[in-house]
Amino acid sequence: MMLVASIQVSAKDPKADIVSQFKETYKNATITSTHNKGFHTWIYAMDDGVKTVLKYNRRGQVVESFRYFKHEFLTPMQALKLKNEYPNMKLYSATEWMNGKAIVYRIVLVDDEKWIHLDSDSSANFKNINEFKKG
């Protein structure tokens, strides 16, 4: 007796499914690029003026995300605490990183003399990571 096994090979591109899923979820976003690296698909997009990067696994689940923005997307607690604790510094940039377990904000402040890099949670618990003198 001989057993015959057949394997169906699909020519369907998993990246195409992920891009389609992204477009359904983020209707106002514009995809700027996509690429595969290892077992992950990365989508780079602009979503309402915010640079957004999403990392998907093979099953189409988001496993990591980054958003790059200015002050308008900080939490109210973060904005108020920054204003009170760093009154003479300007917000240069903020990055939100999420991996399914935590959300971390990297906040960069600047004045005439220095740069300050802070990490924060959404409740504005700041941790001074680095301070750099300018020029």
Q: pLDDT averaged over consecutive 10-residue blocks of the chain (135 residues)?
A: 43 77 91 92 92 92 91 86 94 92 93 95 89 88
* Contact predicate 81/72, CB 8 Å: no
pTM metric for this prediction: 0.77
Nearest-5° Cα angle at 47, 83 to 62: 100
Give per-residue burial for 104-130: e unless 16+ CB within 10 Å, then b. Answer: ebbbbbeeeeeebbbbbeeebebeeee
3-state secondary structure of 52: strand
* Tokens 């990365």 found at: 42
CATH number 3.40.50.10470 is the correct assignment for the domain at 70-135 = no
* Contact predicate 11/34, CB 8 Å: no
pLDDT value of position 8? 43
pLDDT value of position 112? 94
